[in-house]
């Protein structure tokens, strides 16, 4: 497979690649580099965990990337998820694995790694101490946004360990590519800086866009502010912002109906965010929208750019867009919902995790 094809697999979903030259050099030198993403097991899976993760991961696997799916149980513990109960957190992690399976990820083709296993080695803590020694407390405090905490928020001592632990994970797993969301950028850039200080392997950072919550980005909000990202992104701990992988067709339609979707506005509109990130495979994909006959009837759109233009021009109404998004989400979520209805183990795990109190 040629390098441009492999590069395009990343460019197809990345908002930022740090750096493209480094990624190209890596792919030229290594046929199967190792990438990773990490997750706190902390509740019911929303669509950014299921649909977005599965879509991006399948693209990377198709071009020969090896991948670690990292279940960050101790990170969830120190971040007080599920009341900091490790037994509950680990049940949630096992449930996450079932979600990946239901989303079409062949778990035999990825490495599923738990933090508890990675940390069970003195070498891990040696690296952790070195990361901490190379990093100022001010730098760590700026990086706490990676854990969904605002700068200046009151933190426990253990929570201050979080950014250095995340950086340590990268070196302990010998990662080539950090493939996480834009909200994790500060940890990945910190890892690159630490690597330069010690002469360690510097990871390439590939950041996908965040999936917006249903509230979108109202006018006047600085979408580049890391603290604002915490409030704007879809969160499994905030039911008002999220669509979950178990929502019924009726629940999906109701949530989309109430989503922020001003007429003629694409910027900050979560429905366009959903379409671009998970509901279409390629920007040039043809899209069919249903409209009432009195407003022109069914309309065929040649791709994402034309969809934006028609919406801004007022030729597509928010109600028509909402119906399209709700129908597409139902198509993609239904197989996952059915897996958890039919598979005994998956059903038990979902029932267990659904009963946990979600804490932040």
Residue 111, number of CB atoms within 10 A of its CB: 13
Same domain, 102 and 141: yes
Residue 151 has pLDDT above 90, yes or no: no
Is the pLDDT confidence value at 278 over 80? Answer: yes
DSSP letters, 89-153, are HHHHHHHHHHHHHHTT--GGGSEEEEHHHHTSSHHHHHHHHHHHHTS-HHHHHHGGGGGT--TT-
Provide the token pair at 29.
């030198």
Q: 3-class SS at 22?
A: helix
User: What's the rounded mean pLDDT across residues 75-90?
Assistant: 94
Contact predicate 268/232, CB 8 Å: no
> Could you identify the residue written with the tokens 């659904």?
354
263 and 137 in a single domain? The answer is: no
Give me the number of domains the chain comprises.
Answer: 2
Please give the mean pLDDT across all residues of the chain: 91
State the pLDDT at residue 146. Answer: 84
Is the Cα torsion angle 12, 13, 16, 17 positive or negative in sign? Answer: negative
Encoded tokens for 335: 């197989």
Work out the percent of the chain whose per-residue pLDDT is above 90: 77
**pLDDT score recorded for residue 78:** 94
Same domain, 251 and 164: no
Q: Mind giving me the DSSP string for 202-265?
A: PPEEEEEPPPBPTT---TT--TT-HHHHHHHB--TT-TTT--BTT--HHHHHHHHHTS---TT-
What does the pLDDT average to over 244-253? 95
Cβ neighbours of residue 202 closer than 8 Å, sequence gap 6 or more: 22, 191, 192, 195, 196
Do 172 and 127 form a contact (C-beta atoms < 8 A)? yes
The per-residue pLDDT for range 202-211, each reduced to its tens digit, is: 999 999 998 9
**Which one, of 12, 38, 44, lies nearest residue 245 by Cα?**
44
CA-only gyration radius of the chain, Å: 21
* Residue 147, pLDDT score: 82
Question: Among residues of the chain, what percentage have pLDDT more than 70?
Answer: 95
Is pLDDT at 125 greater than 80 in this prediction? yes
pLDDT in tens, 285-310: 899 988 888 777 888 999 999 999 99
Other C-beta atoms closer than 10 Å to the C-beta of 14 total 19
Question: Are 48 and 147 within one domain?
Answer: yes
Residue 187 lies in a domain: yes
Q: Of 169, 192, 208, which closes a domain?
A: 208
Which of 53-67, 90-104, 236-250, 341-355 has the lowest average pLDDT? 236-250
- Single pTM value for the model: 0.91
pLDDT at 356 over 80: yes
| pLDDT tier, 235 (very low <50, low <70, confident <90, very high otherwise) | confident
H or E element that contains 318: helix 318-342
In terms of domains, do 52 and 134 share one? yes
pLDDT digit string, tens, across residues 313-346: 999 999 999 999 999 999 999 999 999 999 999 9
In this prediction, residues 65-91 reach a mean pLDDT of: 95
Burial of 133 (0-12, 13-18, 19+ CB in 10 A): exposed
At 239, the pLDDT band (50, 70, 90 cuts) reads confident
Mean pLDDT of 273-292: 90
Residue 224 lies in a domain: no
CB 286 within 8 A of CB 303: yes
CATH at residue 66: 3.40.50.620
Report the SS3 class of residue 200.
Answer: coil
Looking at the structure, tell me whether residues 196 and 273 fall in a common domain.
no
CB atoms within 10 A of CB 345: 11
* Cα within 13 Å of Cα(273), Cβ side: 25
Q: What is the CATH number of the domain that holds 296?
A: 1.10.240.10
- Residues 161 and 200 both lie in one domain: yes
Domain that holds residue 81: 3-208
Is residue 31 in some structural domain?
yes
Whether residue 221 is contained in a domain is answered as no
In a domain, 225, yes or no: no
């Amino acid at each position: 497979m040629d390098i441009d094809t492999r590069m395009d697999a990343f460019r197809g979903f990345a908002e930022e690649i740090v750096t493209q030259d480094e990624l190209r050099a890596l792919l030229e030198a290594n046929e199967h580099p190792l990438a990773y993403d990490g997750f706190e097991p902390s509740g019911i899976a929303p669509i950014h965990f299921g649909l977005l993760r599965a879509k991006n991961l399948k693209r990377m696997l198709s071009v020969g990337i090896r991948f670690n799916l990292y279940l960050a149980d101790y990170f969830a513990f120190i971040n007080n998820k599920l009341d900091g109960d490790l037994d509950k957190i680990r049940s949630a992690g096992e449930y996450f694995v079932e979600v990946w399976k239901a989303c079409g990820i062949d778990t035999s083709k990825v490495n599923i790694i738990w933090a508890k296993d990675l940390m069970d080695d003195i070498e891990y803590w040696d690296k952790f101490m070195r990361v901490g020694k190379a990093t100022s407390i001010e730098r760590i405090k700026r990086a706490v946004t990676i854990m969904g905490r605002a700068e200046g928020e009151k933190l426990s001592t253990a929570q201050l360990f979080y950014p250095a632990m995340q950086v340590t994970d990268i070196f302990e797993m010998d990662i080539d590519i950090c493939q996480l969301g834009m909200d994790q950028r500060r940890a990945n850039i910190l890892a690159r800086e630490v690597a330069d200080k010690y002469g360690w392997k510097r990871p390439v950072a590939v950041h996908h866009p965040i999936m917006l919550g249903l509230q979108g980005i109202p006018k006047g909000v600085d979408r580049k502010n890391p603290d604002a990202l915490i409030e704007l992104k879809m969160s499994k701990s905030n039911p008002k912002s999220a669509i979950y992988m178990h929502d019924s067709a009726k629940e999906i339609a109701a949530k989309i109906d109430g989503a922020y979707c001003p007429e003629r506005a694409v910027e900050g509109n979560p429905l366009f965010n959903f379409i671009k990130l998970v509901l279409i495979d390629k920007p040039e994909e043809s899209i069919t929208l249903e409209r009432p006959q009195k407003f022109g009837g069914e309309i065929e759109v040649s791709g994402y750019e034309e969809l934006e233009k028609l919406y801004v021009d007022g030729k597509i109404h928010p109600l028509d867009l909402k119906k399209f998004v709700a129908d597409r989400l139902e198509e993609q979520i239904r197989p996952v919902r059915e897996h958890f209805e039919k598979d005994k183990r998956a059903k038990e795990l979902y029932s267990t995790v659904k009963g946990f109190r979600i804490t932040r």
